[in-house]
Each structure stands twice: as structure tokens, then as C-alpha cells.
Structure 1
Amino acid sequence: MTEFDDAFDPLTIGRRVRSLRQRLGLTLEEFAERIGKAPSQVSVVENGRRELRLSELQQYARALEANVAELLDAAELSEREHLEIALAKLQTTARYQRLSLPHIPARKSLSDDTLHAIVGLFREIERMDTERAATPEQARRANTELRAIMRARSNYFEELEAQATDLRAAISMPRGPLPQRGAAELASHLGFSLHSVPDLPRSTRSVLDRAHHRLYVPRAQREDGDQRTVVLQALAAQVLEHQAPANYADFLRQRVETNYLTGAILMPEQSCIELLAAAKQERQLSIEDLRDAFGVTYETAAHRFTNLATAHLDIPVHFLKVHESGTISKAYENDAVQFPADALGAVEGQLVCRQWSARRVFEVEDHFNPYHQYTDKPSGTYWCTSRVQQDALGLYSVSVGTPFEHVRWFRGRDTAHRYTSKCPSGACCQLPHPELTERWATSSFPSARMPSTMLAALPTGEFPGVDLRELYAFLERHAPTSE
């Protein structure tokens, strides 16, 4: 997995289409006729205002006498085209829009030097803003950028899928659910011995001793406790050759890669695709069935579904993990749903509308069966399936949703639950009833429960939050006395 590649950006692809079209000497009208579309449709694509699906990319590439790889190759763009793309992107940012400056089209009359100056000045403003920002803001920016990478790739990382396939093949378990012994065999294949210990440092989930090829995991509270995920996440870091993160963005990237590879090992791609394709054919797609087929948690199954739904089923989706307080813990979307977000575009910690299934599910007494709901939102109508789960911090809901046009593939589409959300309008669910406001506004004074992390800086150190003194003392206690 690499940093965001402009090749996945609609604006970059649009410029490549225009460049290749002009190289062939085709007018907009001639090219549109060649692919059987209206010139206005091609113009929208060339200006980066619409994404192309894979089948359309192939159609455009053939018509341009190229292949898809050439169409996605941003390196082939001229310096002028890169500047025009940068200018267009800068003007869509919230920072630029807050300045209330006029839109600057990249006309031919605008010289390269002028473009360089505008783009350079604005990037310097961005750099200064980032430099002045508090550490939590930097973290939120990094998280927002990482979510953009995931969206651009439909949360599907082919290189990680290939690594998972190779690892499963190496232990002769290419298909189906991974038994607990499979995690142990994979550790042995990678040259590590497993050690369940009662004194693992509290700031860690597992510890790799790369010098002595040992993997330490916490001793399970129950003999039948499932330690596969903890073991696989640690081994994934070894396979991916992760080193101490250079910054918080690198730390987040490593976590995404580790979790993705772990999910792909637990739930191999080909086996998942076969199950999901058959379910789609029967119009019975279900996160529960995916969970039960591979013996994983509902959250793991939901995450894995987002990896494969768009890439293999052509279904855009969104994912939410929401605390019972209504705040977002994790989120992903490539279906144009609009999550609540702060000025930096970060969604974690934001309040979800009370009308969304992610919060409605907490009011349902039946937590054995999944909860399904249609929600009319400002960006369209969406169908969601939600479940409640519990961890050390309380109750959470895990939800997977899709636009109305794709609900026909899912079990639970016949639900009668339907609500309307007008958020972020305050009139939707955030404002109290006027009569109650009149009665209590001047006679109440609550003592707010302030989140402990609100004013705190993020943990420091090579591995954010890890107590290195405790960690190194632990390793010294458990290191073998002789090589």
C-alpha cells in the first residue's frame, strides 16, 4: 500500500483522456461519436466531474488506442496539466472556500509562471497552517487523508490480497475459514514461536521480539478464547516489514495495512467472492452469513465486505462504528453518503443523526436479529443493516449501508423501518423542543462531562501510546537466557 496516487483521481483521469484524445487529433465531438456518448458527457469526464467505472475506463482506453494502465498513468501528464489539476483541487478545499476568493479557471491565457505562483503560495499557506496546528488537528488531518486513499481505491488493496493468498498457500490452507491452529502454523512458517503471557505491557496488544523470533500475546481469559486476530495482526506487521512509524500518518497507515492483511488471511478473497457472488445472485447478501461462514466477529465481516463489495460486486457502500453516545468511532464510504464532519473533514468523534440506523438500533430490544432501515438523507435514500456489540468502553453499533438503487441485492430490503434525516440541519434532531427550551433554557446549568482526550496531546514516542520503559523491561524478563 502506498500514499495516495493521483491516478485514481477523476480529475487526473480526465486530463489523461483529454491529452490522449488531442494526441490522436480528435475533437471532443469526434471522440464522443466514437464511444457513442454525447459530447457533454465526455466533457464532464475530462473536467473531472464524474468518475469512470472499470468498464468505462476500458471503453475509453480502447477508443483512445491505449490501455487502462496508460489512462491511469499520471506520470504522462505535462507539467502544465499537473499545475492545472493542482489549481483545481486547491480551489475545492474548505480552506480556499473560507477565504471567499473568486474561482480561477485554468485558461490558456494564464501563464505557467502565474500558475506556479498561485499553487506555490497556497501550498505555503497549507504548510504554515499545518505547522501551527495542534497535534490532535494533525492526527485528524492524517486520518482524513487516509480515508481518502481508501475511498479512491474502493477500500480494496490488491497487493495485500496477494500477500494474504501467498501466506495461506504456504500453510496449505488456501480456502475457507482459518482455524486457530492456522494462526499458529503461520507464526511457525514465519519463524516465530508463540508465548501467551500474563504480564504483557498494558499499553500493547502484542509484542514481537524480532531478535529472538518470539511473539508475545496476552493470556486468554478463557481456554477457548479466540486469539487469531491478535496473532495475525502482529505477524502482519512482520510480513509488511513495518518499522517505527515516521509520524502519526505513518502510524495510521500501518494500522490500516495490518488490519486489512489480517482480515484477508482470516477471510480469503476467493472464498469470500464465491460466497458473496452466490448470495448476490440469490439477492440474499448478508453480513451475518459472511460472519458465520468464517467464524469472525460481525465488525470483521463488515470491514471485509467493504473491501470486496465495490471491487467485485460493483456495489458502493459505507461503514460506521458508532458509540452508544452517538459519536463516530470508525467510518468509511464510497457511496456519496455525507457523514458529519468538522472543518478539517474529520468524522471521528462527530455526532451521528438520531434518525440513522446506527443510532436507531440502540432502541431495538431484539439484538439477536439484524436491524434494517431505510433513511432518506440530504444526499439520497440509503438502506442500512446494523448490529449492536459491546467492548470495554460500552456499547457500539456497527452498520453497513448502500444507496437505494443497490438494496435489491440484500436480505432485509423488505424492512418497514424508514426515517428521514435532515442533518446537518439543526432542525433535524439536535435542537430541543421549543416548549422545553422556553421552560429550561434560563433555569438549567449542567456540568459537562469533558472527554479526557479533548485537550490532551496525542501520545508521543516511536510507537504512539506505548510505554517503552515497560516494554523493554518486559522483553528483558522474557528473553531466553541463551541463544
Structure 2
Amino acid sequence: MTASQSVDLVTLGQRLRHLRRTKGMTLEQLSAAVGRAPSQLSVIENGKREPKLSVLQALASALGVQVADLLRPEAPSRRAGLEIELAHLQKAPAYQGLGLPSVRAGRRLPADALEALIGLHRELGRVLTEQSATPEVARRANAQLRVNMRERDNYFAEIEQAAAKVLRSVRHATGPLSQRGILDIAAQLGFTLHYVSDLPGSTRSVTDLRNRRIYLPQVASNKGHDPRAVVLQTLGHFVLGHADPSDYGDFLRQRVEANYFAAALLMPETFAVEFLREAKADRALAIDDFRDAFGVSYETAAHRFTNLATHHFGIPVHFTRVHESGIVYKAYENDGVLFPADVTGAIEGQPVCRKWASREIFQAEDRYSSFYQFTDTSAGTYWCTVHIESTRSGEFSVTVGTPFEHARWFRGGDTTRRTVSRCPDPTCCRRPPADLVSRWSGSAWPSARVHSHLLAALPPGTFPGVDAQDVYEFLDRRA
């Protein structure tokens, strides 16, 4: 057995040096006690040589400790811990590639200089990681976030409680939240709202923390977003105690929580659950009615339904937002439906089966009317209700689905529309029919439209995609 199999060599060296000095022994005295040359022990203390077990036993005996004391993974002191970290950082490929000399963190190196060097190394690592982040980072982060949401049935009790506390603070007693109520909430939290025409293009809002001002786009320039939701999402970051996101996964988590908070204010839990309970009793659950009752977008109502359906009514659900091209932009499930996924487990960017309701609706004779469908899949039969929303990026289908046995609670649960999906079997819809192949194989040459975001690194910055200079110049103008 060797030391490198059980402990980091740099840490071992630091522990050896610390124990030797604690015993008041010089390197020469320890070398004499174990019958090894001082130079041999020096390279061990510097973490550059792997000692044999017999040498470790001799060193431990000479120092009056157990071998396990030499092999413990923690640094013997804070200073030693910093020296170990610096040694590892200087061996990293990122630093080695710079061709700069290594700094020996001996006793003569002042503590503040040591900490400054480590700080620079950490920042170098952060910047390089940020620059090299690819869409795979986002996909993995999204996949993990979806796992966390599924484990909680997409219900966040602590955010519901935070939203309820805010509503009580402004004495909101019943029904949907009005614009007046939103202004009261902002004032209660110490912010004023300012609608401007020159908000930086990479932002939906900018908050001046120094002067407690929230700048928002004028309604006319805010196409595609409920202006009330944008305000409440911004306030949500402060109510929920969000700090600057540490990485892309943290950024996504904060965005989900802020969106949840906004929906919990626009569609308060108490009133929303009461509304849904009455609809369920009538076997007439409908996202359209839920939307209209609270004056929100269909997508917001669909999301909010997924927050409450399983926790309060035991109805498992899935949700998708699918582009007219058939690509998934958003998805969530806790009902066992099998979404298309890549090797990382990510769903976003994957094509949905052509037989699913979220794509069938685009072929419907009247695509803007209520659309319901049963789909037989390898995971079971699912009922779905779908609605199309038009945006500047094209049309999207927003789908809420549930297993067959729960369809009875919904309006449209008696639909006769039914399809069969065999995906991921390529003969379902991925492979063209044989007659089309025979007519056109070898005679078609499409020019693919490659979206640049498929190849690009993730947007840099603490808040991905936001140009900090634009934000600071904007605040300067408004100061």
C-alpha cells in the first residue's frame, strides 16, 4: 500500500512537516531517526514523492504518532490548508499553460500575499470555467433542476408561505392581485417602480439597490411578458433572499423560484385551490377557466396548475411548451410520461413525437379552439389539453397532461380524439415513410438553418447574457 492510494501527497507532506516542527525536530534529526537522507524526507514534505508504507511507519514511530495521523485528509492548520490549495492550483493545467513560475509557499511568504495569490487563482479558474461553458452546462443544470422539482411535485411550501406573508402585509383579502396591490407590495418592500423606454435590451428589469428603484420597460415594449409578473419576479429575488448567482445552475434555480413567487402572488394559493376544488367537484377542471379567473396568461395558469394539482388533489401532471417546429422549450413531469431526452437527461431542444397532442394541435383544422387528446405511449395512456400562444419567436403549444385515470376530472376528458405514439421507436415518426424515401432519397439537398445558439458558449457574466456596462450606463443616466 502507498500513501497516494489513501491521501493527497501535498497534504501528507504538510502534516509531516507540522508534526516534525511540533516535536521540535529538524529535518536532519528526523532523517537520522528513520535512517533516511534529509533530501529524501524533504521531497516527501514538499509533496513530490510517494513514500512507501515502511517509510511512513518509521516516520510515525519517530514522531510518536500513528500512521493514520499522517494520512488524515485535513490540513493540520489554516495556513497549511492555504499552502496546500496554492500547490494544487499551481499544478492545474490552466496555470501551467501560462508558463509562469510556481511560488513556493514557505514560512517566508506573508499570509496576505498567500491569500492574494489564492484569490487570483480562484478568479482565474472562475473566468476560464465561465468562458468554456457550453450549452451542455445549461442542459445538465436544467435536468438537475427538473429532478428537484419532480421530487417536490413542483410545490414549494416555503415560497407559498413567503407569498402569503407579503399578501397579508398589504391586506390583500380575496381574489386576483390588482395593479394597485402590486404597487402596494413594492412600497411595502421599500421600492418604487419606474417605467422607462431605454431599458438595456438584455434585461427585463433593472434594480437600483442604492436608491431602491426598479426600472421596468414601458408596457408597449414588453411584448410577450405580463408586466405584472416582471415586477413580481424582480421583487421575488429580494423577498426570497437571493444573492448573486454562483453559477448557471444557481441562476436557473433563482429564476424558477422568482417565477414561482410571482405566480403565487398573481394566483394566491388559498383562492386558487378553492377555485380548482370546485371545478374538480364538477369534473370541469380547465386551464382556460383558471386563466380567466385570475387574469393571467395561459402559460402562467398552466404552470400554476402544476404547482397545486399534485400537492392538493393528488393529480400527477406533465407540462410542455413546444415550438411549432416540434422542439421542446420547457417541460416538467411527475406522472411518468417519457419525454425525449439526450444523454445528459436534458429535454430542452429535443423533438417531440409528431403523434403527441403538443404537435397534433398544429395540424388541427381550428388550432385556436380547445384541443383535447388521448395518446397511447409505451409508458401508458395520457390525456392532454393544449393551447397555442403566439409570440415574436413563433407559435408555441402549451400542454398540460395527466394519466388516463385522472382525465375524468377535466373538461374535455371525454374526447374521442386518440393517437398512438411508439417513440422512441424510429418507425413512429422519426423515419420517413417508405414511399417518400423511395421517391426522394438521393434527390433532396436541404440547406440547414443552423441556429448560432446551438454552438455558442453560455452567455458570460454573473447574470448570464446581461451586459454589465449597459446596465451601469443606464443607471448613470437615471441617477
Per the normalisation by structure 1, the TM-score is: 0.70
Q: Which residue of 1 aligns with 2:107?
A: none
- 2:218 is the alignment partner of 1:219: yes
Give the stretch that moved more between structures: 326-335 or 447-456.
Answer: 447-456
Q: Which residue of 1 aligns with 2:158?
A: 159
SS in 1 for 2:253: helix
* 1:174-213 alignment, distance < 5 Å: 174-213=173-212
Q: Which residue of 2 aligns with 1:73?
A: none
Aligned length: 350
Deviations 1:203-244 (A, max 9, x none): 000011111000000011189995211111111111112222
Letter in 1 for 2:248: Y
* 1:361-380 alignment, distance < 5 Å: 361-380=361-380
Alpha-carbon offset, residue 444 of structure 1: 1.6
Letter in 2 for 1:387: H
On the 8 A contact 2:361/2:371 being kept in 1, the answer is yes
State the distance in 2 between where 1:313 and 1:391 align.
32
RMSD, aligned α-carbons: 1.9
Q: Which residue of 2 aligns with 1:229?
A: 229
State the distance in 1 between where 2:475 and 2:181 align.
26
SS in 2 for 1:195: strand
Letter in 2 for 1:334: N
Q: Which residue of 1 aligns with 2:341?
A: 341
State the distance in 1 between where 2:356 and 2:381 align.
11
State the distance in 2 between where 1:424 and 1:207 align.
44
* 1:117-196 alignment, distance < 5 Å: 135-196=134-195
SS in 2 for 1:215: strand
State the distance in 2 between where 1:222 and 1:152 align.
38
Q: Which residue of 1 aligns with 2:74?
A: none
Q: Which residue of 2 aligns with 1:299?
A: 299
Alpha-carbon offset, residue 439 of structure 1: 2.3
Letter in 2 for 1:401: G
Q: Which residue of 1 aligns with 2:277?
A: 277
Give the stretch that moved more between structures: 340-349 or 175-184.
Answer: 175-184
Q: Which residue of 2 aligns with 1:399?
A: 399
Alpha-carbon offset, residue 173 of structure 1: 0.8
Letter in 1 for 2:289: D
The percent identity for this pair of structures is: 56
Letter in 1 for 2:322: V
Q: Which residue of 2 aligns with 1:439?
A: 439
SS in 2 for 1:453: helix
Deviations 1:261-285 (A, max 9, x none): 0000000001011111111111111
On the 8 A contact 2:286/2:410 being kept in 1, the answer is yes
Q: Which residue of 1 aligns with 2:410?
A: 410
Q: Which residue of 1 aligns with 2:53?
A: none
Letter in 1 for 2:332: Y
Letter in 2 for 1:284: A
On the 8 A contact 1:194/1:215 being kept in 2, the answer is yes
State the distance in 1 between where 2:445 and 2:221 align.
46
State the distance in 1 between where 2:375 and 2:365 align.
20
On the 8 A contact 2:408/2:414 being kept in 1, the answer is no
Letter in 1 for 2:384: C
State the distance in 2 between where 1:387 and 1:478 align.
41
Deviations 1:163-218 (A, max 9, x none): 01011111111331011111111111111111000000000000111110000000
Letter in 2 for 1:238: F
Alpha-carbon offset, residue 136 of structure 1: 1.6
Alpha-carbon offset, residue 438 of structure 1: 2.0
On the 8 A contact 2:368/2:388 being kept in 1, the answer is no
Deviations 1:151-174 (A, max 9, x none): 000000000000010111111113
- 2:473 is the alignment partner of 1:477: no
SS in 1 for 2:305: helix
Letter in 2 for 1:267: M
State the distance in 1 between where 2:444 and 2:228 align.
50
Q: Which residue of 2 aligns with 1:382?
A: 382
Q: Which residue of 1 aligns with 2:70?
A: none
Give the stretch that moved more between structures: 330-339 or 432-441.
Answer: 432-441
SS in 1 for 2:427: helix
On the 8 A contact 1:267/1:294 being kept in 2, the answer is yes
State the distance in 2 between where 1:322 and 1:281 align.
30
Where does structure 1 differ by over 3 angstroms across 4 or more consecutive aligned residues?
222-226
Alpha-carbon offset, residue 364 of structure 1: 2.1
SS in 1 for 2:246: coil
Q: Which residue of 1 aligns with 2:90?
A: none
On the 8 A contact 1:273/1:312 being kept in 2, the answer is yes
Change in 2 beyond 3 A, CA 1:392/1:219? same
Q: Which residue of 2 aligns with 1:40?
A: none
Letter in 2 for 1:184: L
SS in 2 for 1:143: helix
Change in 2 beyond 3 A, CA 1:394/1:152? same
Change in 2 beyond 3 A, CA 1:226/1:405? closer
On the 8 A contact 1:191/1:213 being kept in 2, the answer is yes
State the distance in 2 between where 1:410 and 1:433 align.
36
SS in 2 for 1:471: helix
State the distance in 2 between where 1:226 and 1:408 align.
32
On the 8 A contact 1:165/1:174 being kept in 2, the answer is no
State the distance in 1 between where 2:340 and 2:426 align.
12
Letter in 2 for 1:413: G
State the distance in 2 between where 1:475 and 1:294 align.
34
On the 8 A contact 1:194/1:216 being kept in 2, the answer is yes
Letter in 2 for 1:274: E
Change in 2 beyond 3 A, CA 1:226/1:337? closer
- 2:423 is the alignment partner of 1:423: yes
Q: Which runs of 5 or more structure 1 residues have no equivalent in the other structure?
A: 1-129
Give the stretch that moved more between structures: 147-156 or 443-452.
Answer: 443-452
On the 8 A contact 1:373/1:418 being kept in 2, the answer is yes
Change in 2 beyond 3 A, CA 1:377/1:470? same
Q: Which residue of 2 aligns with 1:77?
A: none
Change in 2 beyond 3 A, CA 1:263/1:462? same
Alpha-carbon offset, residue 365 of structure 1: 3.6
State the distance in 2 between where 1:272 and 1:204 align.
30
SS in 1 for 2:423: coil
State the distance in 2 between where 1:380 and 1:273 align.
28
On the 8 A contact 1:195/1:217 being kept in 2, the answer is yes
Alpha-carbon offset, residue 134 of structure 1: 5.2
On the 8 A contact 1:180/1:226 being kept in 2, the answer is no
